[in-house]
Amino acid sequence: MKKILIAGNWKMNNDVDESLKLVSEIESFISEKESLKCEVLVCPTFLSIFPVSQKIKNTKLQLGAQNCYYEPKGAFTGEISIEMLATEGVSHIIIGHSERRAIFNETDELINKKLSAILESGLTPILCIGETLDQREQGKTYDVLSSQLDKCLLGIQHSDVPKIVIAYEPIWAIGTGVSATTSQVDDAHNRLRKYLLDFYADGAKNTLLLYGGSLNEKNAAELLALENVNGGLIGGASLKSKSFTEIINIADDILK
């Protein structure tokens, strides 16, 4: 049965008050719905995680973090551990976002360490991969995606593969208002599923594959309906409750 995860990546937006306002709007929308079929996740800044966690306790909303460090504690100024996030009710952690790779020089090797540590803790990693426009134009998209997966998934147990969420986010589509086309997303997700099945056998059928990159309430119906798309990692459109809740409705319609 198809599963859909709608994940809002708030990035470095929303102070604590704004985060609480946005999450309250999303929560009251969900609680007024007769039933919720998709999973819904919000990923605020570290600063807002604690108050948002208090606010959504015992609701259907899930809480994610945008990053973590793989060591449990110690002299790592500016970092936050997986255990600290778990204690506050975080269930998912985004790793390898292209902004972290490009601006903060995160490598596949570092992302692999984070991935292993998150799996060990029992939380769910959302591993982001994606190609630049240049790489796509040179026909290198699938070499880039396979190489990112080869390195980020190195040493991962087969049994852990269904516990990983993978977000395909073409870098050229992030924050641009221009999403990848339906056929580009279809093709990429079919190939990602094939890659996972080839390496990790049947368990990989259950790995959730999200699409990210200018996903919004206008293109969600087409993209989320694709066979190997199991949801979205949503930046811009997750910052407005109206857009985000419309996407939730669209996902629920698909799962009807």
Binding mask 8-27 for ligand PGA (x = CB under 6 A): -x------------------
The secondary structure of residue 203, as a DSSP letter, is: G
Q: Does residue 236 bind ligand PGA (CB under 6 A)?
A: yes
Nearest 10 degrees: CA dihedral of 83, 85, 89, 92? -100
Minimum distance from CB of 201 to ligand PGA (Å)?
29
Q: Which stretch binds ligand PGA (CB under 6 A): 84-92, 182-190, 209-217, 220-228?
A: 209-217
Q: Does residue 100 bind ligand PGA (CB under 6 A)?
A: no
- The Cβ-side half-sphere exposure at 137, using a 13 Å CA radius, reads 5
Q: Does residue 215 bind ligand PGA (CB under 6 A)?
A: yes
Q: Does residue 72 bind ligand PGA (CB under 6 A)?
A: no
Q: Does residue 174 bind ligand PGA (CB under 6 A)?
A: yes
Alpha helices (runs of H) in the chain, residue ranges in sequence order: 16-32, 46-56, 82-87, 98-103, 108-121, 133-137, 141-152, 182-200, 220-224, 241-254
Annotation says 97 is catalytic: yes
Which of 27, 99, 106, 169 is catalytic? The answer is 169
Of these, 212, 230, 247, 250, which contacts ligand PGA (CB under 6 A)? 212
Cα-based distances in Å from 71 to 108, 119, 121, 246, 248: 17, 13, 11, 38, 35
Which of 27, 39, 97, 131 is catalytic? The answer is 97
- What is the DSSP pairing of strand 231-234 with strand 39-43? unpaired
Of these, 129, 234, 247, 251, which contacts ligand PGA (CB under 6 A)? 234
Q: Is 149 helix (H, G, I), strand (E, B) or coil?
A: helix
Annotation says 169 is catalytic: yes
Residues that bind ligand PGA (CB under 6 A): 9, 169, 174-175, 212-215, 233-237
